[in-house]
Amino acid sequence: GENVEQHPSTLSVQEGDSAVIKCTYSDSASNYFPWYKQELGKRPQLIIDIRSNVGEKKDQRIAVTLNKTAKHFSLHITETQPEDSAVYFCAASDTGNQFYFGTGTSLTVIP
Amino acid sequence: GAVVSQHPSWVICKSGTSVKIECRSLDFQATTMFWYRQFPKQSLMLMATSNEGSKATYEQGVEKDKFLINHASLTLSTLTVTSAHPEDSSFYICSARWGGATDTQYFGPGTRLTVL
């Protein structure tokens, strides 16, 4: 089955700096890669996703890049704000019937 | 947007009792629903995938006789934790995926189960 690894597990940045979270996956059949943000005690919220036919996708301060050959994808947050502090999860899916999540990254943005 | 609800949001029960958790898609028909378990400060662990009208597919290591899943309609899936024990205490989250072109899944708010 799919194995998704995520790094780093914790990340602290100064407000205004950029944050990068990286994930690798093992199953070359995976073709859908969503990123979720989870605040303490709340449900995961989809923030951005990318499909395997696209190398990069951007939505305001958030961007995701995908390298299919190397089987890794990354989340980039620019101009970080304190409200960006949360746990971020990457995931990989092939058919949409099974999603495999990374171990999570706890991001702290220091004001 | 797509809304998924869960009920109850928090339940405390005695060891040996069974607990039912409901997951509903409020404004769309969910052909597939997922059940996850999340321990504090850990990732989401997929327990099972359920498709409306068919038996759930359980992940390796998840006891299907202990975690009973029923996806009776396109808007409702239930997870029953049978004969709950303290080690079953966890945060259970469901998600729903509609059968359109998107693979996006929408998460419920979660149910915190505490077994005494």
> pLDDT tens digits for B20-77?
999 999 988 888 899 999 988 888 888 999 888 888 999 989 999 999 999 888 899 9
Distance CA A70, CA B108 (A): 33
- pLDDT tens by residue, B1-34: 678 999 999 999 999 999 999 999 998 888 889 9
Distance CA A48, CA A57 (A): 8
Q: A63 vs A33, A48, B116, CA distance in Å?
A: 12, 8, 44
With cut-offs at 50, 70 and 90, classify the pLDDT of residue A96.
low
Query: How much is the pLDDT for A47?
Result: 95
Q: Which residues of B touch A (CB under 8 A)?
A: 32, 34, 41-46, 49, 93, 97, 103-110
Query: How much is the pLDDT for A6?
Result: 96
- Cross-chain Cβ contact A103/B43 below 8 Å: yes
Question: For chain A, percent helix, then strand, then coil, each to nearest 5?
Answer: 5, 55, 40
The distance of B73 to chain A (nearest Cα, Å) reads 17
With cut-offs at 50, 70 and 90, classify the pLDDT of residue B100.
low
- Cross-chain Cβ contact B32/A104 below 8 Å: no
Mutate to test the interface with A, among B44, B49, B51, B93 (most CBs of A within 10 A): B44
The distance of B83 to chain A (nearest Cα, Å) reads 26
Beta strand ranges found along chain B (DSSP E): 4-7, 10-13, 19-25, 30-38, 44-51, 57-58, 67-73, 76-81, 90-98, 105-107, 111-115
Query: How much is the pLDDT for A97?
Result: 66
The distance of A17 to chain B (nearest Cα, Å) reads 25
